[in-house]
Amino acid sequence: MKTNNKLNTKFTKELEYFYGLLWADGHVTKPGNKHKKIDFYTTIKDLKDFKKILTLVYNWSIYKRKTNKDNPQWLESYVFSFNNAIIHKHFIEMDYHLKSHINPTKILNYIPEKFHKYWFRGYIDGDGCFYCNPKQCLRQFALSSTYEQNWKFMFDLCDRLSIKNGKVQKRQLVKSAYSSFRICNKEGIQKLCDYIYGDKWDGIGLKRKYNKYLECINMISQQNKKHGQYRKKKS
């Protein structure tokens, strides 16, 4: 396993994106563990895009994970991994070993505010999704996490962006439990994505997720146009 890494302290778009991505789909071994590991998990469909960014930030060993042959929907998956005591200590100090239930307060205080949008973009690429259904006139943005997740940081972001009606849903099933944060109004989705993406794609992150956002926005625009024509005919 590669260990020739040094703590990256130069703030860049790619590094801050990685910090958000790791908060979503990463794993940092707990304090006291003899292995000072940082791992990140992904599937084959996103491997190329993530590899392009992650290898700019640190050196990684990349392994193919065992396939769950009993699940036909199981995608071929990979783990990015390295072992480094100094970098591991940095992530412990930023609470990454507690990320499944606390707010990312320390890491967002550490990152300059002008780079926060890249942290959120990475986090959304890891745990977020955009969904739209023209037939049902349905569009929504959703983040998923553990049942215990504290979503205050997303409500704080919504306050900053003047996004209304963000809400949390919690579900307890027989064998699992989870919570989600959702924005279901068109203005909120637009404001969120204007913040994390700006006015054009800059090549950092998952292009497929950006395209899904555009699909939702185009659907909203088409619906608004139809509604306008309907009101015009009615008048």
The arrangement of secondary structure in 127-234, i.e. its CATH architecture, is Roll (3.10)
Placement of tokens 């996103």 in the chain? 46
**What is the model's pTM?**
0.88
User: In angstroms, rounded to a whole number, what is the distance separating the alpha carbons of residues 20 and 121?
Assistant: 7
In tens, the pLDDT along 161-187 reads 999 989 999 998 888 899 999 999 889
Mean pLDDT of the chain: 88
pLDDT at 138: 77
- In degrees and rounded to multiples of 5, residue 98 shows phi and psi of -115, 10
- In degrees and rounded to multiples of 5, residue 17 shows phi and psi of -60, -45
List the chain domain ranges. Answer: 13-122, 127-234
User: In angstroms, rounded to a whole number, what is the distance separating the alpha carbons of residues 121 and 206?
Assistant: 9
CATH fold of 13-122, please? Endonuclease I-creI (3.10.28)
What burial letters (b/e) apply to 29-60, b meaning 16+ CB within 10 Å?
beeeeeebbbbbbbeeebbebbeebbeebbeb
pLDDT at 82: 94
- At residue 1, does pLDDT exceed 70? no
Q: Poorest-confidence range of 59-68, 93-102, 108-117, 158-167?
A: 59-68
For the chain, how far is it from start to end, CA to CA, in angstroms? 70
Query: β-strand 138-146 against 177-183: which pairing, if any?
Result: antiparallel
In tens, the pLDDT along 111-120 reads 999 999 999 9
Answer yes or no: are the C-beta atoms of 87 and 58 closer than 8 Å. Answer: yes
Q: Poorest-confidence range of 24-38, 194-208, 211-225?
A: 211-225
> 3-state class of 190 per DSSP?
helix
Answer yes or no: are the C-beta atoms of 138 and 132 closer than 8 Å. Answer: yes
Q: How far are the Cα atoms of 30, 42, 53, 126, 229 from residue 65, in angstroms, in the given order? A: 22, 10, 20, 18, 53
Same topology, domains 13-122 and 127-234? Answer is yes
